Amino acid sequence: MDGKIALEEHWAIDETLNIAGQPIGAGEMRRLLVDFRDRRLTDMDTNGIELAILGLNSPALQAILVPAEAANVAYRANNILADEIAHNPRRFAGFAGLPMQDPEAAARELTRCVTDLGFKGAMVNCFTQRQMPDSAIYFDLPEFRPFWATVAELDVPIYLHPRLTIPSRAKSYEGHPWLYSPVWDFGSETALQALRLIGSGLFDEFPNLQIVLGHLGERIPFDMWRIDNLMNKSPVKHSAKKPVSHYMRNNFHLTTSGQSHDTPFHCALAEMGPLRIMFSVDYPFEEMAPAASWFDNTALSDADRIRIGRTNAIRLFKLSLD
């Protein structure tokens, strides 16, 4: 299928490649993250991807401990991305990077990026550090309600992206470093944060908020029935007014990033429906060719393939592609 839109596609600057002692890979990965006009475009052309919405690598800004520094790096990174988009506006669009260490600064930067730079929303990692290396600040906390009010007013989606659990909070992974990695921790940490947002009542307060989850929903679709079923029986209730599945189907969208396989895809499709799923790659951490080939050949109606590969993203992000 030509004309696909991909929207968990990463880029980086020096500060986000080396933040908090977590350097990203070696030469080739680093080169691909900072490339816009060479390999990235060539691979997009080869694999039928018309447009990529770009977001900073993980943990990016959310690992900067000093709020003022995070705001400065966000401002610079977003300006760099805007300049690159201006070179290829028909091939690239942008997600803002936000200094979530300071919710007011994050709201201001999101407003600037949407209204002045034309960005389509923001990509934030699923919690932020602040002041102390072992801190973890979650976005369902009351201090973030004014930020979410700004998101609702701007009417743009937020892509909730994974990052690793803070080491001091990852005792259950001791002796098993393979689990403390994108193999498992990425999905479990992000799913937990998405469920916290739901359980906090955020979407009752702002019913039009839209959140995007990658990797086909970080395993939540597989468990949606069980979550609702157990909550019906549990004496311990969350603060939300409706079942978790209601908010997933009304306030969340999923992408296929890093999940190029029929079984999880068709599970997510059955639970969420074809209007809530969008194609993505997770480039350069995943390769475009196998992701595009799988999507182009998985069993779908022509109408659903176009929806998931293209038109759902056009509608959600208000894209103008003529």
Reported as a single tens digit per residue, the pLDDT across 109-119 is: 999 999 999 99
Work out how many domains the chain is built from and give that number. 1
pTM across the whole model = 0.96
Nearest to 119 by CA among 7, 239, 270: 7
102, 140, 185, 282: the catalytic one is: 282
What b-and-e string marks burial along 292-307, b requiring 16 or more CB atoms within 10 Å of the CB?
beebbebebeeebbbb
Contact 109, 102 (CB under 8 A): no
Give 25's pLDDT tier (boundaries 50, 70, 90): low
Q: What pLDDT score was predicted for residue 17?
A: 84
Q: 59 CB contacts (<8 Å, ≥6 apart)?
A: 19, 20, 22, 125, 163, 164
Q: What pLDDT score was predicted for residue 27?
A: 80
Q: What pLDDT score was predicted for residue 21?
A: 46
Tell me whether residue 247 is in a domain.
yes
Helices (H), 136-184: 145-154
Tell me whether residue 88 is in a domain.
yes
Tell me whether residue 286 is in a domain.
yes
The domain containing residue 24 runs over which residues? Answer: 4-317
Tell me whether residue 126 is in a domain.
yes
Give 16's pLDDT tier (boundaries 50, 70, 90): confident
Helix axes 244-251, 185-199, angle to 10 degrees: 100
User: Per-residue pLDDT tens for 170-181?
Assistant: 999 999 999 999
Tell me whether residue 190 is in a domain.
yes
Tell me whether residue 322 is in a domain.
no
Tell me whether residue 259 is in a domain.
yes
Contact 242, 202 (CB under 8 A): no
**3-class SS of residue 15:** helix
| Rounded average pLDDT over 126-155 | 96
Helices (H), 67-165: 67-87, 103-115, 145-154
* Ranges assigned E (strand) in 47-204: 49-56, 92-94, 122-125, 128-130, 132-137, 158-161
CA distance 261 to 99: 34
Active site residue 282: yes
Q: What pLDDT score was predicted for residue 24?
A: 60
Q: Does the pLDDT value for residue 210 go beyond 60? A: yes
Q: Does the pLDDT value for residue 22 go beyond 70? A: no
CA distance 183 to 231: 28
| Rounded average pLDDT over 107-133 | 97
The CATH number for 193's domain is 3.20.20.140
Tokens 């809530």 belong to 276
